[in-house]
A and B are shown apart, each in its own frame.
Chain A
């Protein structure tokens, strides 16, 4: 700890390192990753980075002092580092100004929210019994699936895609609040029991107050048998199985 004052230091000051990490991770999330993370989520993850940096700096007494000397301009630095230090110092008021500006600026964007892909089903779904003939993927007959294919390609493929990958022609415009599901995704129908999927197809998202997605309700278009056959094809095409436990 002793000879800390005024001596020029070896290597990169931890203050500079901290700046590189902070600014670097921000740039990574906003500009390198594509598509960039939403700004609210970036801020959320920046919280982790900031905490990480603070922990790093406060792990050793020596480092704290070095850092304090850095931000209070007590340590003498290599000219380049010094320029960086001054630049950041001068930038701070501008940064704050910009934050204030963007906070009060009127925005027409819809409010941010955490979207939840799997909403809570209504009560009738609780304890709903899947009809015997449709309940076990191992016994789904080829004929049934082939019939399902026709329904699927007519009704569902425009949005969910012929390949069940969520890339139908209409999917390009239906993006809010969530685009058509990619059924191949391990977090989609592969994670749902059949009763739940049946409900999603039957009642859709348009009428669901928790949800309001563009997924239509099919109960008037299709009878139960057709819905089940479509579901069979959907699973087969996507190459996943419903949750059974």
Chain B
């Protein structure tokens, strides 16, 4: 592993030297054989970003879990945190290699554009490499001093690691968001103010969106790792431990995923504020098909996760009481996602065209019903959690009132969404948008209430049966793996969407793409590339899983 650190540092330094020493070039574009310059850069950038997301996310929850273990004085959590962290050293290495490769490729294939970016952001590039270096060193120290340092100091180091990681991401986001919504430059592109260039319109939305998405991505990937270890486990203890790990990873993933529609909506609004036409392109125009695909992958993520939780209930003593509700939840989710992914118009043949927009899916295709569908889907996920939690408890007598209150909140959410949906077809669009946002925001206190009632209901309650970790059906684990794969696909798809909103611009409205790859590929071609890079990512990650599984300490204790 020390050797790996050595290689890593060398690669970073070489890459840094390469950019900083680069002479300004005259040639604007160079070509790459076979698949073309754009696709190479695209694939490398996305792969690098996926790994970067992973290495940024895992320390976030590894440190939190470690802290839980410390304050609860529970060894299990410490081992769990360490298990999560064990994937990091290799992942760092791969990220660095991909990052170096990406930078070399993009500087040599898009010299003019990259030269421009480097010119605008020169000071931040030094900062970036400084931070990456510090972050890397901190990671390796943090990971390899797990048992050596006093726990309190180790936690502190973990926090430092997270701060560094987040800063690295912020710097990268400044570059990315500048390309989408440039600020601080003249029309000709000359820099006026570096700080406005950094703090442009979409900088903070991107920061927040990426941070949260990274954590959920990391959670799901870790859950997939746990699933892999579960399926290949030999002893019941090992099975129990990795079952528990998969459970926690999934929980982290799905709780943060629930936040994402809200932040994504904010991102979209900022984009509209920056430039309406770009907003239209993104939400309703050339890229609107992305949202249909997104609905599909998110369906896999939500339904897959719930499936996993439902299957737990098949083996959970005490859950019999609640099993009868599950089919309702599953069908409600299916219908919600069918609505979410309904296209507004679909021309397939003259005979089928009928007259105008179809009365059913033509109406389902606009934003309002989709927002209602998202709300209902989120509600189903929350209910799945609640049932899972309640299954192992004996509800104390005399607290029926809380259940009733809970039911009324749920009913209220449903009614509100149905009513809002009905109204949104008869009011003007400005009101409609406000209604949609209101129903969206209403979910927050509603979920809060549901959980509050749950807390009151179960206060001091007794457990009916203890979850038997390691006892879940294997098919649930395949569910987790499917969720992770689908998550990778979603990240790559939406990353493409964000970049594609710029259309034929390198920097929107400032620097045009005049290469022969300018403009957007057909959606079919784009999805092929997305699928390809998802496969590559999964391949690389499986390699990391495998190597970590082999070299990692054998877990023998299991749950006691």
Contact = CB atoms under 8 A, between A and B. Distances in A.
B455 interface: no
Contact of B347 (A48, A61, A113, A127): A113
B356 A166 contact: yes
Contacts of B277: 120-121, 125-127, 195-196
Contacts of A190: 428-429
Contact of A37 (B310, B358, B365): B358
A127 to B, nearest CB: 7
A37 B307 CA distance: 29
B429 A243 contact: yes
Interface string A44-64: 110011011001101111000
A131 interface: no
Contact of B425 (A39, A60, A186, A195): A186
Contacts of B432: 186
Contacts of A177: 347
B376 to A, nearest CB: 15
26 contacts: A35-B358, A38-B346, A38-B347, A39-B352, A40-B346, A40-B348, A41-B346, A48-B299, A48-B335, A52-B331, A56-B330, A59-B330, A61-B473, A114-B289, A116-B284, A117-B284, A119-B285, A127-B509, A166-B356, A179-B355, A186-B368, A186-B424, A186-B429, A193-B276, A244-B430, A245-B269
Interface stretch (B42-50, B101-109, B128-136, B336-344): B336-344
A53 to B, nearest CB: 9
Nearest to B473: A61
Interface string A23-47: 0000000000101111111001100
B552 to A, nearest CB: 32
A136 to B, nearest CB: 13
B43 to A, nearest CB: 24
B356 A119 contact: no
A243 B347 CA distance: 27
A187 B365 contact: yes
A59 B310 contact: yes
Contact of B475 (A52, A58, A191): A58
Interface string B271-283: 0110111101100
Given A114-B343, A121-B280, A187-B365, 11 more contacts: A37-B358, A38-B349, A40-B346, A48-B334, A55-B307, A112-B348, A112-B349, A120-B277, A185-B357, A190-B429, A241-B430
B390 to A, nearest CB: 18
Point out which of B281, B331, B353 has the most chain A C-beta atoms below 10 A from its C-beta. Answer: B353
A243 B330 contact: no
Contacts of B409: none
B364 to A, nearest CB: 10
Nearest to A245: B272
A54 to B, nearest CB: 10
Contacts, number: 166
Contacts of A117: 284, 344-345
Contact of B352 (A36, A210, A245): A36
A244 B431 CA distance: 11
A110 B350 contact: yes
A176 B353 contact: yes
A210 B286 contact: yes
A125 B503 CA distance: 14
Contacts of A35: 352, 354-355, 358-359
Contacts of B368: 186
B179 to A, nearest CB: 16
Nearest to A45: B338
Point out which of A45, A52, A55, A109 has the most chain B C-beta atoms below 10 A from its C-beta. Answer: A55
Contacts of A109: 348-351
Interface in A191-206: 191-193, 195-196
A120 B353 contact: no
A240 interface: yes
A182 interface: yes
Those 3 A-B pairs whose CB atoms lie nearest each other, nearest first = A112-B348, A35-B354, A109-B349
B183 interface: no
Interface residues of B, number: 64
Point out which of B281, B307, B356, B473 has the most chain A C-beta atoms below 10 A from its C-beta. Answer: B356
A182 B357 contact: yes
A186 B303 CA distance: 30
Contacts of B138: none
B415 interface: no
A133 interface: no
B433 interface: yes
A110 B345 CA distance: 15
B360 A33 contact: yes
Interface string B425-447: 10011101100000000000000
A68 to B, nearest CB: 13
Nearest to B284: A118
A174 B273 CA distance: 36
A98 interface: no
Contacts of B331: 52, 56
Nearest to A177: B347
A115 interface: yes
B74 interface: no
A192 B353 contact: no
A179 B330 CA distance: 37
Contacts of B311: 58-59
B301 to A, nearest CB: 13
B286 A115 contact: no
Nearest to B286: A120
Point out which of B273, B285, B330 has the most chain A C-beta atoms below 10 A from its C-beta. Answer: B285
Contacts of A182: 356-357
Contacts of A51: 303, 334
A59 B353 CA distance: 39
A175 interface: yes
A39 B346 CA distance: 10
B345 A115 contact: yes
A178 interface: yes
Contacts of A33: 360
A116 B285 contact: yes
A88 B230 CA distance: 38
Contacts of B334: 48-49, 51-52, 55
B285 A118 contact: yes
A177 B347 CA distance: 7
A137 B513 CA distance: 37
A97 to B, nearest CB: 23
Contact of B330 (A52, A61, A112, A191): A52
